[in-house]
């Protein structure tokens, strides 16, 4: 008899749980899972904006974009963009976190300033940089000319030359990502017990040895989390590219998301846009899987 | 630390801080410089060669739709926060208390949605939006934004709920409340800190969002801040840099100050959820 | 092997109203096991950390081997330290933990294996080389921490309450291991603890600390039998000494010196005890009682009796006495021991 009573309580508890979870689940299914499936439908069809026709065309869309030089360029650029910004962000945020991990006067102000790039809306920061990198009025160019690094009127076109444009886009994106990474790593640093670096100091380890052989290895799980978020975010973002260079010059800064946007939305070719965008997903899954595996292994060892 | 070490520490920190914060200082200077000063390549851009002016700010508020965009963003923000809390609080409670293995898997599944990026979903969603006849309307954003605010909020709130000792709810049940009443009258008040974190975080995400707003909204009066400022403060090919930078400055500073107030609380929430 | 000394060592922490360590002079003997004993807040850990170089003194000097080391960093002082939590590097194996100081000090790689084997052999760790710290028991972790400390062949060992994280049973065997270890190695060792039983059992000499100052330095026998002040008298010994104020004096006698038989000694004191509470500990009885009559009427007193004495009952009154030689006298104002027995009663 007692068994019966507790099981009906369990059932009603489970029902309540399902009921409370359901709205969020249904919402996500309708607005994420369904459109995701729809993207596949488009990619395998011939949908265009303005028409309601649909014909299944198999892999035709994928085949044609794989042949397009714009696509190949965008694919390559996406990797360069992501890897370069991640490396920069990693080095920068670890350095900054270590610098901030001690008490000093004015620490609150420094923290405020350091967080600005992340707190301001991304597009705002990007447009601010666009002004700073303007081909005629760039303050950076002016400063470099004043320091005699360049001759007057001979400063480079930061956003106009292919390699420089890519570099600019990478730098602006890393600039934006740095505070977020730093905050995560700082949290990881505070989790290291104080007597471990003290023991290392007593053992005779120099500053660099403690950093590379004790601190960084102990930070590995947190670093993985920061990297994972960073990679997902960078690989799927088009804001900086769209606002700074629109993918130019000559597709040199075009990345997969921005190409998907200009093809699918601006160009109206929804099918091709969906196909391009779909390329992002498996790549993302592979990276996420690899990082989670590495993190898991790091925790076991 | 040795004196040399301290000097190196300060110098390196100063360098990085300048790199990070300089663009905002530059926004400030540009916003208050006369146009004739701004576009004169002979002048030293670091100085105010002519007296500063409020013209750009006035222009921004009177001749552009800036204030309208602020209102739009606030409106969408409030709506999205409401929806996120309405859907997220019960879901987080269910995950924290009521479901077992099933719940954990579902929770991870929801979090996996972050792997399906807006830059993929925006194409089919643009069609969904036009089917619902919501194109060029702020409601399209209100409907779509929770897709990326919800997963993280659920994760954060679940962490907070798990940190509340089960005994408190058990005591409420013994006192005669139903589970749901216990949820409303015990759990929610005790996790105000987490809820505030979710509100701040959700609001930040709404202000930051760019792609959906760019895709779904086309007219100037219906646009959000993050798209309006870089897109509509241009006439033809000419950027109105003075007003543009004024807009950037005015948008960044309040959010930064607000954020700074809540940052400690936010980090606590983030790490509390992460440690669980 | 070296002698550690401090000269008028002082430490005041920022925003504190009192000094944590307030002018301490001490000197170890070569090869001895010296214990810093005191309650929490007595400054014993701060003192140890200043010797290690982890805290900078506000004033005063630390000397190791006759050399002033105030300006030397920890790694330059040739000391080894075992922390309360052992501070083993969690991501390194036992072998890698032990070899770490050798690498850090630039010891040639060819010597690593032999030295680690020697250190590990001393502590019975040879079979655990590939394990990670989280796979070890508390006692094993202590041994790894000791091995890591000894592998550098330091001049001085510093141990900061290494047994307090262990449960009671393990604490005894770990204590024994530490004592054996010190006997074999013979390095000058400074050991910090708040546990006076540990201090008495392990120390060659004990430094009793209270509120940042040294109250007494002496062998266990000296601090127990001739405590220098009332604090030392009541801190050592469990249950603590019975201390009474009487005019300008404080009089004390230890629970074990209460004899159930009347004393034949004329300088002794006869006391009538009414038992309020009894504890049977197996090896002995603890009596909590109230004194009846006499100059200390109604004061509480504690007595220790061997377990073969029996027949005591709560509420009953019994005759006891304390022999004159077992009294301790302290000046009431200064709390210090009176060197000559005053005219008393």
- Per-residue pLDDT tens digits for C220-273: 999 999 999 999 999 999 899 999 988 888 999 999 998 887 656 666 788 888
Average pLDDT of the segment spanning B172-180:
80
Block residue for tokens 């000046």: C331
Express as a percent the part of chain A with pLDDT over 70: 93
| Virtual torsion, Cα C118, C120, C126, C127, nearest 10 deg | -170
Distance from CA of C345 to the nearest CA of A (A): 54
Digit-coded pLDDT (tens) for A148-160 = 888 887 788 888 8
Cα–Cα distance for residue pair A81/A62, rounded to 1 Å:
23
**A202 and chain C: CB distance < 8 Å anywhere?**
yes
Name the residue ranges covered by the structural domains of chain B: 58-275
pTM of the complete model:
0.78
The tokens of C302 are what? 């504690």
Per-residue confidence (pLDDT) for residue C228, from 0 to 100: 94
Strands C33-37 and C59-64: unpaired
A195: chain C residues, CB-CB within 8 Å: 83-85, 87
Let me know the angle formed at the C-alpha of C173 by A195 and C93, rounded to the nearest 5 degrees: 45
Asked whether C239 and C255 are in contact (CB, 8 A), the reply is yes
Calpha distance A280→A237 (Å, rounded): 11
Query: Do C101 and A301 count as a contact with CB atoms less than 8 A apart?
Result: no
d(CA C203, CA C205): 5
- Beta-bridge partners for A181: none
Q: Where are the domains of chain C?
A: 4-225, 240-331
| Contact present, A230 and A173 (Cβ < 8 Å) | no
Buried b / exposed e across A185-213, counting CB within 10 Å, b at 16+? bbbbbeebeebbbbbbbbbbbeeebbeeb
Residue A169 near residue A249, CB atoms below 8 Å: no
Alpha carbons A299 and A253: distance in angstroms, whole number: 37
**CB-based contact (8 Å) between C210 and chain A?**
no
Contact B135, B244 (CB under 8 A): no
Most B CBs within 10 A among A20, A34, A52, hence the mutation to make, goes to A20
Tracing tokens 């249950």 back to the chain, one arrives at: C239
pLDDT digits over A251-296, tens only? 889 999 999 999 888 888 888 888 888 888 888 888 778 777 776 7
Residue B215 distance to chain A (closest CA, Å)? 7
Find the CB nearest A129 among B23, B98, B260. B23
Please report which helix (H) or strand (E) contains residue C271, including its range.
strand C269-280
Query: Euclidean distance between the first and final Cα of chain C, in Å?
Result: 50
Q: What is the pLDDT of residue A157?
A: 85
CATH code of the domain occupying B58-275 = 1.10.3720.10
User: CA angle, B215 as apex, B210 and B219 as ends, to 5°?
Assistant: 100
pLDDT reported for residue A83: 92
List CB contacts (< 8 A) between A124 and chain B.
226, 229-230, 247-248, 251-252
| Beta carbons within 8 Å of A170's beta carbon, 6+ residues apart | A80, A81, A84, A85, A88
pLDDT greater than 80 at residue C77: yes
Nearest CB among C91, C100, C101 relative to A218 is that of: C91
The residue with tokens 């301490």 is C24
* Residue-level pLDDT at B265: 65
Of B125-139, B252-266, C308-322, the range with the lowest mean pLDDT is: B252-266
CB atoms within 10 A of CB A256: 26
What one-character-per-residue DSSP string does C182-206 give? HHHH--EEEEEES-HHHHHHH-SEE
List the Cα angle B58/A136/A144 in 5-degree steps: 110
Q: Which fold has domain C240-331?
A: OB fold (Dihydrolipoamide Acetyltransferase, E2P) (2.40.50)
Spatial separation of the C-alpha atoms in residues A260 and A254, rounded to whole Å: 10
- Separation CA A43–CA A275 (nearest Å): 5
Domain residue spans of chain A: 1-36, 69-300
Q: In this complex, is the C-beta atom of C332 within 8 Å of any C-beta atom belonging to chain A? A: no
Which residues does A266 contact at the CB level (< 8 Å), separation at least 6?
none
User: Is 90 exceeded by the pLDDT of residue C47?
Assistant: yes
Q: At what angle do helices C138-150 and C168-185 cross, to 10 degrees?
A: 20
pLDDT given at position B270? 56
CB pairs < 8 Å spanning A and B: 252
Tell if the CB–CB gap between A218 and C79 is shorter than 8 Å: no
pLDDT of A1 > 50? The answer is no
**Helices of type H across B135-239:** 138-144, 146-163, 166-174, 179-182, 188-190, 192-208, 211-216, 225-232
What's the confidence (pLDDT) of residue B272? 54
Q: What mean pLDDT is predicted for residues B168-189?
A: 81
Cα B205-A125-B269 angle, rounded to 5 deg: 35
Q: What are phi and psi of C218, to 5 degrees?
A: -175, 175
CA distance A263 to A281: 18
Bond prior to C345 in cis (omega within 30° of 0): yes
Write down the H helix ranges in A29-161: 34-43, 60-67, 69-100, 107-119, 122-132, 139-146
CA-to-CA separations, C40 to A89, A182, C56, C191, in angstroms, rounded:
45, 37, 20, 15
Flag if A214 and C89 touch (Cβ within 8 Å). Answer: yes
Indicate the angle between helix axes A69-100 and A216-235, nearest 10 degrees.
140
**How far is Cα B236 from Cα B186, in angstroms, rounded to an integer?**
57
Contact at 8 Å (CB) between B24 and B246? no
Alpha-carbon span C282 to C296, nearest angstrom: 30
In angstroms, the CA C137 to CA C94 distance is 12
Q: Is pLDDT of A99 > 80?
A: yes
On the question of a cis peptide bond just before residue B3, with omega within 30 degrees of 0, the verdict is no
Q: What's the order of all strands across the beta sheet hosting C21-27?
A: C21-27, C4-11, C59-64, C67-68
Q: Give the per-residue pLDDT at C27.
A: 94
> For residue B261, what pLDDT is reported?
73
Question: What ipTM was reported for this prediction?
Answer: 0.83
Distance from the B59 Cα atom to the nearest Cα atom in chain A, whole angstroms = 18
Calculate the CA C326 to chain-centre distance.
Answer: 24
Listed residue (B53, B33, B31) closest to B43, CA to CA: B33
Residue C305, chain A, CB below 8 Å: the answer is no
Topology of the domain covering C4-225: Rossmann fold (3.40.50)
Peptide bond into A204 cis (omega under 30): no
User: Contact at 8 Å (CB) between C220 and C232?
Assistant: no
Q: What is the pLDDT of residue A49?
A: 67
Contact A227, A234 (CB under 8 A): no
Query: For residue A301, is pLDDT > 60?
Result: no
- CA A272 to CA A268: how far, in whole Å? 9
Are A256 and A277 in contact by the 8 Å Cβ rule? The answer is yes
Among A18, A21, A31, A44, pick the best mutation site for testing chain B contact (most B Cβ within 10 A): A21
φ, ψ (nearest 5 deg) of residue C337: -65, 135
Can you read off the two tokens belonging to residue B72?
Answer: 């739009």
Are the C-beta atoms of residues A70 and A259 closer than 8 Å to each other? yes
In angstroms and rounded to an integer, the radius of gyration of the C-alpha atoms of chain C is 24
Using DSSP, state whether A12 is helix, strand or coil: helix
Residue C188 has pLDDT above 80, yes or no: yes
For residue C59, count other CB atoms closer than 10 A to its CB.
Answer: 13
pLDDT band at A2 (very low <50, low <70, confident <90, very high): very low
pLDDT at C288 over 80: yes
Mean pLDDT of B254-271: 70
Residue A111: the pLDDT is 86
pLDDT of B276 higher than 60: no
What is the chain A residue with the closest CA to B96? A17
Closest CA to C55 of C90, C16, C94: C16
Query: A69-300: what fold?
Result: MetI-like fold (1.10.3720)
Q: Answer whether residue A202 shows pLDDT above 80.
A: yes
* Substitution target from A202, A217, A220 for chain C, most C beta carbons within 10 A: A202
């Amino acid at each position: 008899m007692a068994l019966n009573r507790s099981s009906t309580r369990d059932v009603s508890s489970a029902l309540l749980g399902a009921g409370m979870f359901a709205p969020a689940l249904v919402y996500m299914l309708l607005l994420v899972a369904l459109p995701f499936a729809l993207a596949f439908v488009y990619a395998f069809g011939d949908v265009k904006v303005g028409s309601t026709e649909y014909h299944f065309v198999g892999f035709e869309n994928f085949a044609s974009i794989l042949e397009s030089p714009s696509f190949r360029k965008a694919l390559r650029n996406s990797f360069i963009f992501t890897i370069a910004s991640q490396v920069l962000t990693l080095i920068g945020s670890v350095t900054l976190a270590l610098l901030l991990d001690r008490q000093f006067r004015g620490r609150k102000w420094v923290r405020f300033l350091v967080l600005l790039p992340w707190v301001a809306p991304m597009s705002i920061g990007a447009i601010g940089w666009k002004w700073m990198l303007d081909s005629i009025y760039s303050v950076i160019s002016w400063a470099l000319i004043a320091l005699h690094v360049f001759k007057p009127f001979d400063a480079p076109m930061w956003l106009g030359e292919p390699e420089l444009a890519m570099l600019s886009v990478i730098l602006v994106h890393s600039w934006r990502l740095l505070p977020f990474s730093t905050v995560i790593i700082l949290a990881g640093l505070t989790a290291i017990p104080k007597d471990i670096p003290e023991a290392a100091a007593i053992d005779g380890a120099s500053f660099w040895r403690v950093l590379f052989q004790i601190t960084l290895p102990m930070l590995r799980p947190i670093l993985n989390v920061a990297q994972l978020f960073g990679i997902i975010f960078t690989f799927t973002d088009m804001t900086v590219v769209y606002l700074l260079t629109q993918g130019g010059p000559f597709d040199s800064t075009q990345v997969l998301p921005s190409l998907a946007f200009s093809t699918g939305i601006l160009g109206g070719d929804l099918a091709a846009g969906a196909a391009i965008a779909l390329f992002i997903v498996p790549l993302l899954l592979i990276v996420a899987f690899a990082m989670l595996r590495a993190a898991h292994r790091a925790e076991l060892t | 630390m040795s004196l040399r070490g301290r000097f190196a520490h300060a110098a390196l920190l100063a360098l990085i801080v300048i790199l990070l914060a300089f663009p905002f200082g530059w926004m400030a200077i540009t916003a208050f410089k006369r146009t004739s000063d701004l576009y004169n390549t002979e002048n030293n851009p670091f100085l105010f060669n002519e007296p500063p002016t409020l013209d750009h700010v006035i222009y921004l508020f009177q001749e552009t739709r800036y204030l309208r965009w602020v209102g739009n963003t606030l409106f969408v923000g409030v709506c999205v926060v409401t929806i996120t809390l309405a859907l997220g609080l019960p879901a987080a409670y269910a995950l924290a208390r009521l479901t077992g293995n099933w719940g954990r898997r579902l929770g991870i599944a929801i979090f996996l949605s972050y792997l399906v990026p807006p830059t993929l979903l925006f194409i089919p969603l643009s069609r969904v939006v036009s089917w619902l006849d919501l194109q060029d309307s702020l409601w399209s954003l209100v409907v779509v934004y929770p897709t990326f605010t919800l997963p993280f909020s659920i994760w954060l709130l679940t962490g907070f709920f798990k940190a509340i000792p089960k005994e408190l709810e058990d005591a409420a049940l013994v006192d005669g409340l139903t589970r749901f009443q216990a949820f409303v009258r015990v759990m929610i008040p005790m996790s105000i800190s987490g809820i505030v974190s979710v509100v701040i975080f959700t609001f930040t995400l709404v202000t930051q969002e760019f792609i959906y707003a760019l895709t779904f909204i086309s007219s100037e009066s219906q646009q959000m801040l993050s798209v309006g400022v870089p897109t509509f403060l241009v006439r033809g090919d000419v950027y109105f840099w003075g007003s543009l930078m004024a807009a950037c400055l005015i948008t960044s500073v309040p959010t930064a100050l607000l954020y700074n107030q809540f940052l400690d609380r936010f980090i606590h929430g983030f790490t509390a959820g992460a440690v669980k | 092997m070296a002698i550690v000394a401090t000269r008028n060592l002082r430490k005041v922490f920022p925003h504190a109203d009192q000094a944590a360590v307030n002018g301490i002079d001490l000197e170890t003997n070569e090869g001895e096991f010296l214990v810093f004993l005191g309650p929490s807040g007595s400054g014993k850990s701060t003192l140890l950390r200043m010797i290690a170089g982890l805290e900078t003194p506000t004033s005063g000097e630390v000397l190791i081997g006759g050399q002033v080391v105030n300006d030397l960093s920890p790694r330059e002082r040739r000391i080894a330290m075992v922390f309360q939590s052992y501070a083993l590097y969690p991501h390194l194996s036992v072998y890698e933990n032990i070899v770490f100081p050798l690498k850090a000090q630039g010891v040639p790689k060819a010597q690593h294996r032999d030295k680690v084997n020697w250190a590990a052999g001393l502590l019975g760790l040879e079979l655990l080389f590939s394990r990670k710290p989280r796979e070890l028991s508390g006692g094993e972790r202590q041994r790894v921490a000791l091995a890591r400390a000894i592998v550098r062949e330091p001049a001085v060992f510093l141990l900061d309450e290494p047994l307090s994280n262990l449960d009671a049973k393990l604490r005894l065997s770990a204590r024994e291991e530490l004592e054996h270890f010190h006997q074999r190695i013979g390095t000058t060792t400074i050991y910090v603890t708040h546990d006076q039983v540990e201090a008495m059992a392990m120390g060659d000499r004990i430094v009793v600390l209270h509120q940042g100052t040294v109250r007494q330095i002496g062998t266990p026998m000296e601090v127990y039998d001739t405590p220098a002040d009332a604090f030392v008298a009541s801190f050592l010994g469990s249950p603590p000494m019975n201390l009474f104020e009487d005019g300008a004096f404080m009089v004390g006698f230890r629970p074990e010196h209460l004899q159930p038989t009347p004393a034949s000694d004329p300088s002794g004191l006869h006391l009538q005890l009414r038992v309020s509470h009894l504890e049977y500990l197996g090896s002995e009885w603890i009596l909590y009682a109230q004194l009846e009559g006499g100059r200390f009427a109604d004061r509480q007193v504690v007595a220790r009796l061997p377990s073969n004495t029996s027949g005591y009952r709560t509420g009953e009154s019994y005759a006891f006495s304390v022999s004159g030689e077992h009294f301790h006298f302290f000046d009431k104002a200064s709390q210090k021991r009176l060197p000559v027995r005053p005219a008393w009663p």
